[in-house]
A and B are shown apart, each in its own frame.
Chain A
Amino acid sequence: GAGVSQTPSNKVTEKGKYVELRCDPISGHTALYWYRQSLGQGPEFLIYFQGTGAADDSGLPNDRFFAVRPEGSVSTLKIQRTERGDSAVYLCASSLNPGTLHYNEQFFGPGTRLTVL
């Protein structure tokens, strides 16, 4: 079956511009995560959705970052007034509903490489 897809695969923008990154999770996965992976580093958690609501946005670095998931499936990560330090690969992952006592595997998309000039 289809995995997690992300578009675009690459995005080049200029400092100060607004960008949107899209994630299509695996069908039936209620949990959706966004991570950011800087060059040579492991992914860092940004935000978690359970259904339509952002259940945990503690990883968002500042208020320029925002994400939505209006219908509980596709999610969009939005970055305002981009800065050069925002350049990274943005990864999306989805899973079945995670439980507090157990872990459901997160399946990652290929990521969107964002370059801010």
Chain B
Amino acid sequence: QQQVKQSPQSLIVQKGGISIINCAYENTAFDYFPWYQQFPGKGPALLIAIRPDVSEKKEGRFTISFNKSAKQFSLHIMDSQPGDSATYFCAATGRGSARQLTFGSGTQLTVLP
């Protein structure tokens, strides 16, 4: 059962454009929603994260928008740069001792120069 659904699977934007990646979750026990960035041959690295008590979080060019009632959240990358080209994963974790992450299926972002 896929608990976090992510779209699109791939995304191509021009340099300077806005990249938008969407995720939806099912488990209402989730209470922390991080986004990870992964370059080829590397492990995922935390990019930005949000808790459901806020609707938006911004860090530099990266913004998470969160809609608790719809159980959806999205990543916006402003002024996208070629160096942002990577695979992005949304994730979620819920209350419990393990705090393991449940990942979406990933979005391969290509930013054209």
Contact = CB atoms under 8 A, between A and B. Distances in A.
Interface of A: 4, 31, 33, 35, 40-45, 48, 50, 55-56, 59, 91, 93, 95, 98-101, 103-106, 108-111
Contacts of A93: 43
B97 A4 contact: no
A17 B107 CA distance: 34
Interface stretch (B52-60, B73-81, B87-95): B87-95
Given A91-B44, A105-B46, A108-B44, 18 more contacts: A33-B101, A40-B105, A40-B106, A41-B106, A42-B6, A42-B91, A43-B101, A45-B101, A50-B97, A55-B98, A56-B100, A93-B43, A98-B98, A100-B96, A101-B95, A103-B99, A104-B99, A111-B43
Contacts of A91: 43-44
A98 B99 contact: yes
Q: How large is the interface on B (under 10, 10 to 19, 20 to 34, 35 or more residues)?
A: 20 to 34
A110 B95 contact: no
B18 interface: no
Contact of B105 (A31, A41, A48): A41
Contacts of B45: 108
A93 B101 CA distance: 11
B100 A48 contact: yes
B100 A110 contact: no
Given A44-B103, A45-B102, A55 B43 contact: no
Contact of A98 (B91, B97, B103): B97
B41 A100 contact: no
20 contacts: A33-B101, A41-B105, A41-B106, A42-B4, A42-B103, A42-B104, A42-B106, A48-B98, A55-B97, A56-B98, A91-B44, A95-B99, A99-B99, A100-B95, A100-B96, A101-B95, A103-B99, A105-B46, A106-B101, A110-B42
B62 interface: no
Nearest to A103: B32
Contacts of A55: 97-98
A42 B42 CA distance: 13
A53 to B, nearest CB: 11
A98 B91 CA distance: 16
